C-alpha cells in the first residue's frame, strides 16, 4: 500500500527529535518512516525512498563507538539531508573536517541565509533557528558550499545541490525554528520531488480496501475502550466490513461518570455496530478487595481483563481476526545501541490497555493504525465520523479510575471520584483549557482530614487535582491553572460532594513524579 506514496526515511541516530522529524514530513502530506541508523543500505534501497533524513544524536562523530551512517549511503544517489549530527557525519565522511566546539551552542540563534536556492528557496534574509550542538563543521567537503551561517557558526547549513546532499546544523523540526517546516518542504518537494499524496482521505480509501481484502468474509472482533484509538479502529473496520465486525466493551467499573453509557449509545445508535457491553465490574471489585499496592492493583486488573476477554470472546463463536489500535510510535524498532537509553527505559509501571491482549489467543491481528501518529488518528477519526468529544479526548489510562484511587478501590470510592472528576474536567472545559492541557483529573487520597462546615466539625476525604502540560507524556509540567479556576473547582467539590472536605493541587512535574499517582 505504501508504495503508492512517495517515501522519506528518517535514520535515527538517537535524537530526541527523530519522531518529530517524521511528523513534520507527514505534515507535508508525504509518507515517512523512522528506521535505526544502522539499517543497511540494501534494506533502505529496497523501500525505494525518495530521500533520507539523517537525524541528530547525542554523540560526537570522532567519539569511540559513535554511530556511523550506513556504508555507501553518500554515493547512493538518494537525496540526503543531515540534521545536526547527521550533517557532521556527512561532512566528515565526505572529506570535510569537524571539530569539537569549545562551547556548546544551545538555544535560539539568528540564521542568515547565504543561498536562497535549494532548501532555502523562498526564505530570504534572516530567520530564527534552534541550535543544540557541541561540534562544528570547520572545512567543507569538496563540491559543498555554505548555504547559511549564524554569528557563531559559519557553516550553519551546507549543501551540494548537484549530488542533492544537504546539511543543517540547527533543528528545522522544532517549533523554535518557526520557518523550519518550509526547509523540510523544500527538501521533500523540490529536492526529493515527492508528491503530497499522504492524506487522510487517501488513507481511509486504501485502508478500507486493505481491510476488506484481508478479512474476506470472515468475522472480526475489536476490544473497545472508548478512547480515540480503539474507537477509530472500530469505525474504520466497520466502514470496511460492516456487520462482520463485533466490538466488545469490557466495563471494569472504573470508567468516568456516564462514560460507559455514552459508549453504549455511540456504538448502538450512531455507528450501528454489533456491540457487546460486558458489565464486569463485580468481578473486578471482588479481585481488588483489600488491595492497596499499586503494582499489584495494575497486575490484577490486567489479568482480570484478559480472563474476561477470553471468556466473553469464546461466547461469540469463531472470530478469526482481532482488530487493535496500535500506533506508529509503539511500533518503531528503536534499537540504537548506546544512544536511545530513554527508549529502552526501565519499567516504571505495568501498563494496561486494550492493546495488551494475550498473545496465545489464536487471532490473526489487524492493526490499521500501525503507521499513524496520534494526530493523524485524530484527523482520521474526524474524517470517518468519530465525535469530537472522543477525537479530542485527553488520554485516559487502561486501568481507569482504579489507579487514581490511592489505597483500596471500592464501588463507593469510585463513585466519589467519578463525581469529583466530573467537576474537574467540566470546569477545565468551561475555562476553554481542555485541549491545551495534556491531562486534567482528580485523585482520591487514602486520608481523611478535619474540616468545619456550618458549625460542625467534619472528618472527610481529601482529593488532589492534577493538571499537566506535555507533548508525549514522557515528560510533563504541572499546569499553571488560573487561581480563580482552582477556586471554582475547590468550592464546587466541597459543596457538591458530601464525602470530601479538602482539595489540594499537585505541583509536581515529571520527572521526578509521574503523571498518574500510581
Q: Which residues does the annotation mark as catalytic?
A: 84, 171, 173
The CA-based angle 297-303-307, given to 5 degrees, is 140
Tally Cβ neighbours within 10 Å of residue 428.
24
Query: Which residues have CB under 8 Å from 227's CB, separation 6+?
Result: 325, 390, 393, 395, 396
Please report how close the Cβ of residue 395 comes to ligand XMP at its closest, in angstroms: 4
Residue owning grid cell 484478559: 306
Nearer to ligand XMP, 226 or 398 (CB): 398
User: Strand, coil or helix: what is 483?
Assistant: helix
Distance (Å, whole) CA 358 – CA 174: 38
Q: Which of 163, 370, 415, 510 binds ligand XMP (CB under 6 A)?
A: 510
Residues 216-227 as b/e (b if ≥16 CB within 10 A, e otherwise) read eeebbbbbbbbb
Tally Cβ neighbours within 10 Å of residue 142.
9
Distance (Å, whole) CA 267 – CA 272: 6
Distances 93 to 53, 56, 142, 171, 284 between C-alpha atoms, Å:
16, 16, 11, 21, 59
Largest alpha-carbon pair distance within the chain? Answer: 85
Nearer to ligand XMP, 199 or 296 (CB): 296
Nearer to ligand XMP, 115 or 506 (CB): 506
Please report how close the Cβ of residue 324 comes to ligand XMP at its closest, in angstroms: 13
Please report how close the Cβ of residue 268 comes to ligand XMP at its closest, in angstroms: 24
Enter the C-alpha cell of residue 245. 465486525
- Contact range with ligand XMP by CB under 6 A, out of 277-285, 361-369, 459-467, 510-518: 510-518
Nearer to ligand XMP, 302 or 451 (CB): 302
Please report how close the Cβ of residue 397 comes to ligand XMP at its closest, in angstroms: 3
Binding mask 424-463 for ligand XMP (x = CB under 6 A): ---------------x------------------------
Distance (Å, whole) CA 320 – CA 220: 6
Q: Does 257 bind ligand XMP (CB under 6 A)?
A: no
Radius of gyration of the chain (CA): 26
Sign of CA dihedral 184, 185, 191, 195: positive
DSSP summary character for residue 169: S
Distance (Å, whole) CA 439 – CA 425: 9
Q: Are 183 and 82 in contact (CB under 8 A)?
A: no
Q: Does 329 bind ligand XMP (CB under 6 A)?
A: no
Nearer to ligand XMP, 91 or 515 (CB): 515
Q: Does 58 bind ligand XMP (CB under 6 A)?
A: no
Q: Does 514 bind ligand XMP (CB under 6 A)?
A: yes
Give me the half-sphere count of Cα atoms (radius 13 Å) on the Cβ side of residue 402: 31
Binding mask 375-414 for ligand XMP (x = CB under 6 A): --------------------x-xxx---------------
Nearer to ligand XMP, 349 or 492 (CB): 349
Name the E strands within 339-438. Answer: 364-366
Binding mask 340-369 for ligand XMP (x = CB under 6 A): ---------x-xxx----------------
Nearer to ligand XMP, 179 or 349 (CB): 349
Please report how close the Cβ of residue 229 comes to ligand XMP at its closest, in angstroms: 9
Please report how close the Cβ of residue 394 comes to ligand XMP at its closest, in angstroms: 8
Nearer to ligand XMP, 74 or 254 (CB): 254
Query: Which residues have CB under 8 Å from 141's CB, separation 6+?
Result: 90, 91, 94, 95, 96, 160
Q: Does 473 bind ligand XMP (CB under 6 A)?
A: yes
Q: Looking only at residues 176 through 215 of this chain, which bind ligand XMP when binding is defined by CB under 6 A?
A: none
Mutual orientation of helices 228-241 and 374-383 as an angle, nearest 10°? 50
Please report how close the Cβ of residue 468 comes to ligand XMP at its closest, in angstroms: 9
Number of residues forming the site for ligand XMP (CB under 6 A) = 14
Distance (Å, whole) CA 166 – CA 115: 12
| Site for ligand XMP, rule CB under 6 A | 349, 351-353, 395, 397-399, 439, 473, 510, 514-516
Amino acid at each position: 500500500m505504501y508504495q503508492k506514496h512517495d517515501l522519506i526515511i528518517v535514520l535515527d541516530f538517537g535524537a530526541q527529535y527523530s519522531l518529530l522529524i517524521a511528523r513534520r514530513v507527514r505534515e507535508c502530506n508525504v509518507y515517512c518512516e523512522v528506521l535505526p541508523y544502522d539499517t543497511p543500505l540494501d534494506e533502505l534501497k529496497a523501500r525505494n525512498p525518495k530521500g533520507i533524513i539523517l537525524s541528530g544524536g547525542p554523540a560526537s562523530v570522532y567519539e569511540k563507538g559513535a554511530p556511523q551512517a550506513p556504508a555507501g549511503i553518500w554515493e547512493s544517489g538518494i537525496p540526503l539531508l543531515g540534521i545536526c549530527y547527521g550533517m557532521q557525519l556527512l561532512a566528515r565522511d565526505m572529506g570535510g573536517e569537524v571539530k569539537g566546539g569549545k562551547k556548546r551552542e544551545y538555544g535560539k540563534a539568528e540564521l542568515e541565509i547565504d543561498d536562497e536556492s535549494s532548501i532555502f528557496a523562498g526564505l530570504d534574509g534572516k530567520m530564527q533557528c534552534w541550535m543544540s550542538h557541541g561540534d562544528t563543521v570547520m572545512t567543507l567537503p569538496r563540491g559543498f558550499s555554505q548555504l547559511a551561517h549564524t554569528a557563531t557558526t559559519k557553516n550553519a547549513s551546507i549543501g551540494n545541490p548537484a549530488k542533492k546532499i544537504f546539511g543543517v546544523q540547527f533543528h528545522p523540526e522544532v517549533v523554535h525554528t518557526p520557518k523550519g517546516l518550509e526547509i523540510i518542504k523544500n527538501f521533500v518537494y523540490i529536492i526529493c520531488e515527492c508528491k503530497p499524496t499522504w492524506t487522510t482521505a487517501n488513507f481511509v480509501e486504501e485502508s478500507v480496501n486493505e481491510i476488506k481484502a484481508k478479512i474476506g468474509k470472515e468475522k472480526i472482533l475489536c476490544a473497545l475502550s472508548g478512547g480515540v484509538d480503539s474507537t477509530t479502529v472500530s469505525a474504520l473496520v466497520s466502514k470496511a466490513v460492516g456487520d462482520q465486525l463485533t466490538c466488545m466493551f469490557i466495563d471494569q467499573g472504573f470508567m468516568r461518570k456516564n462514560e460507559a453509557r455514552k459508549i453504549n449509545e455511540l456504538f448502538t445508535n450512531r455507528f450501528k455496530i454489533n456491540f457487546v457491553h460486558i458489565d464486569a465490574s463485580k468481578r473486578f471489585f471482588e479481585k481488588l478487595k483489600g488491595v492497596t499496592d499499586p503494582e499489584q492493583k495494575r497486575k490484577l486488573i490486567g489479568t482480570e481483563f484478559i480472563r474476561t476477554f477470553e471468556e466473553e470472546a469464546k461466547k461469540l463463536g469463531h472470530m478469526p481476526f482481532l482488530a487493535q489500535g496500535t500506533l506508529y510510535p509503539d511500533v518503531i524498532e528503536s534499537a540504537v545501541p548506546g544512544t536511545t537509553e530513554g527508549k529502552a527505559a526501565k519499567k516504571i509501571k505495568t501498563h494496561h490497555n486494550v492493546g495488551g491482549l494475550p498473545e496465545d489467543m489464536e487471532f490473526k491481528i489487524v492493526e490499521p493504525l500501525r503507521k499513524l501518529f496520534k494526530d493523524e488518528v485524530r484527523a482520521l477519526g474526524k474524517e470517518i465520523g468519530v465525535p469530537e468529544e472522543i477525537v479530542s479526548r485527553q488520554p485516559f489510562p487502561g486501568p481507569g479510575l482504579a489507579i487514581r484511587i490511592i489505597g483500596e478501590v471500592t464501588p463507593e470510592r469510585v463513585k466519589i471520584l467519578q463525581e469529583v472528576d466530573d467537576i474537574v474536567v467540566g470546569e477545565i472545559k468551561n475555562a476553554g483549557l481542555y485541549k491545551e492541557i495534556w491531562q486534567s483529573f482528580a485523585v482520591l487520597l487514602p486520608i481523611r482530614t478535619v474540616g468545619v462546615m456550618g458549625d460542625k466539625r467534619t472528618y472527610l476525604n481529601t482529593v488532589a487535582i492534577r493538571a499537566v502540560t506535555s507533548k508525549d507524556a514522557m515528560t510533563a509540567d504541572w499546569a499553571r491553572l488560573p487561581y480563580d479556576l482552582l477556586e471554582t473547582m475547590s468550592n464546587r467539590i466541597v459543596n457538591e460532594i458530601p464525602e470530601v472536605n479538602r482539595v489540594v493541587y499537585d505541583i509536581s512535574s515529571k520527572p521526578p513524579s509521574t503523571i498518574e499517582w500510581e
